[in-house]
Structure 1
Amino acid sequence: MKVISNPRAQRKQREYEARREEILLAAERKFSQNGFFKTSMAEIAEAAQFAMGTVYRFFKSKEDIYISLVEAKVEELLRLLEEATQSRLPAQEKLRAVIQVKLAFADQNRAFFRIYVSEWSGFEWTVKSAFGERVWKRYMAQIDLVANLIKEGIKTGEFRKVNPKDTSLAFHGMLNSTIYLWILQSGPKESLVDKGKWLGSLLLDGLGTSTLKRSM
C-alpha cells in the first residue's frame, strides 16, 4: 500500500475511506432488510444520505458493493482467525479456537450471510467470476492457516499423519456446511457457537493419534 505523507492528502484519503465505509454499512443494512435483488442503488444512497452520483463515484453497481462487503467480511474473519491462533497453545486447541471463531463470526453476521446463501444462484456469471477472483485468495489463506496448524500437530505428535491441505479443505467444508444449513433453517435455532463443541470433538477425534491406533 502506498504511504501518503502529505497531511492534506492524508485527510482526503481518510474522508474517502470514511464515506466508502458509510455506503457499505448502509448497503449492508438494506441488503439484510430487503434482500439483494429487492434493494436498489437509490435506496442505498438514501440510507447512506448521499446523492446517487456520490455513491457511483465509489462503486459502479450494487453488485460491486456486495462483493466489496463480502471481501471486507472475509478479511475480518481471517484477521480474527490469525489472532486466535498466535498463542503457544497446542495445535489441537488452536483448531478448536478456529472452529469457535468461525462459528461466532457467522452467528454475529447471519443476517448478511443469509443473503449470500439464499440468493447466490441468482447472480449473473460475470458477477460470480469477479467475486471468485477477488475473494478466492482470502479464502485460501484460511485454508493455509488450518493446514499449517495440522502440520504443527503432526510434528508434535498430536495428530496422525494426513495430507494437511486436503484435511484443511474437509475441515472447512464441514464448518461451512454447518453454517449454511443453520442460516437457512427457519424457526428456533440451536446456538451456532454451541455446535462448535461437538464439531470440535468430531473433527479433532478424527485427527487424533488414538484414531489411528483403533484402526490398526
Structure 2
Amino acid sequence: MEEKMGRRERKKLLSRKAILDAAVREFSRKGFKETSVADIMNAADLGIGTFYNYFESKEEILMCLLGCLVDEVDKALRDMRAAKRPSYELLEAGSRITARFLDENRFLLPLFLAAAEHSAKPQTEAHDKMPKGMVTPGFKSIFEDILREGQLAGEIRDDAPADLIAEMFHSVYQAAAFSKLPIGFQENVALKTRLLLAGIRKA
C-alpha cells in the first residue's frame, strides 16, 4: 500500500512539474495574458481539468514561480553563509541570481516588481491588489536580513535603515527593465548593483 501511495505521489509531482514547465514555455512564447489554461495543458499533454487539481489560476502559477526564485536565492545564500562569505558578496550573488532568473522568465518581471511594491505597503492594502488568495513570496526580507547582518558585522553602512537599502536593491531591477542603454538586462543589473554596493560598503 505504501509503495502504491509512493507511486501516486510521484505521479502528482511529475504532473505538477509538467504543468509548471509547460506554463514557462507558453508564457515565454505567447506572453502571460495571451496564454490560456488550455494552451498550458496542451503543452503539458494533460487534460484541462487536471490543471485545477494543482492550481486555481494562471496567477497562482506566477506566484509559484516567484516562490521558486526566492528558494533558489535563499539556497545559494545559505551555502555562502555556511562558507562565512561577507554580506556584500551575498548581496551581489542574490542580485545576480535574481537578474538571471528574471531575464530567463521575463513574463515574471511585472509581478516581481508589483510584489516588491506591495511588500512596502500595509498588509491589507497589499492583499487587496494582489490576486485573490495569493501570498507575496518573501524576497525583500532576504535582502533586509543580509543588510542587517552586514550592519551588525560592520561590513555595511549603518547610517541608513536596512529596509530602505533593500528598496534600493529592488529599484535596480525596475531601472534595468526600462533602461534604454545598449546593454543586456543582466549586465545592467550587475553594473547598478556594483555601484550600489560601493556606496553602502564600509571602507
Q: Within 1, Cα distance between the matches of 2:112 and 2:202? A: 36
User: Which of 63, 68, 88 in structure 2 is aligned with 1:67?
Assistant: 63
Matched, 1:106 2:107: no
Give the drift of 1:86.
3.8
Q: Within 1, Cα distance between the matches of 2:112 and 2:141? A: 24
* 2:118 match: none
- How far does the alpha carbon of each residue in 1:65-115 deviate from its partner, in whole angstroms, 9 at most, with x for none? 3433333344334333444444322222222222222222222333x3257
Give the drift of 1:208.
3.2
> Letter of the aligned partner of 1:149 in structure 2?
I
Identity %: 26
Q: Within 2, Cα distance between the matches of 1:8 and 1:189? A: 56
* 1:203 match: 196
Matched, 1:130 2:169: no
Q: Within 2, Cα distance between the matches of 1:29 and 1:197? A: 26
Cα 1:53–1:6 shift into 2, 3 Å? same
User: Which of 15, 20, 38 in structure 1 is aligned with 2:11?
Assistant: 15
Q: Within 2, Cα distance between the matches of 1:127 and 1:20? A: 27
Instruction: Please tell me the root mean square deviation across aligned C-alpha atoms, in Å.
Output: 3.3
1:148·1:164 contact (CA, 8 Å) conserved in 2?
A: no
Q: Within 1, Cα distance between the matches of 2:98 and 2:112? A: 16
Aligned length: 192
User: Which of 165, 169, 179 in structure 1 is aligned with 2:166?
Assistant: 169
Task: Name stretches of at least 5 consecutive residues in structure 1 with no aligned partner.
Answer: 211-216
Given the two structures, how large is their TM-score scaled by the length of structure 2? Answer: 0.73
Work out which of the two has the higher radius of gyration on C-alpha atoms and give 1 or 2: 1
Give the drift of 1:53.
2.2
Give the drift of 1:16.
0.3
Q: Within 1, Cα distance between the matches of 2:62 and 2:171? A: 25
Q: Greater helix share, 1 or 2?
A: 1
* 2:45 match: 49
- How far does the alpha carbon of each residue in 1:20-77 deviate from its partner, in whole angstroms, 9 at most, with x for none? 1101111221122112222222222211111222223323333333433333344334
Give the drift of 1:201.
3.4
Q: Within 2, Cα distance between the matches of 1:114 and 1:155? A: 32
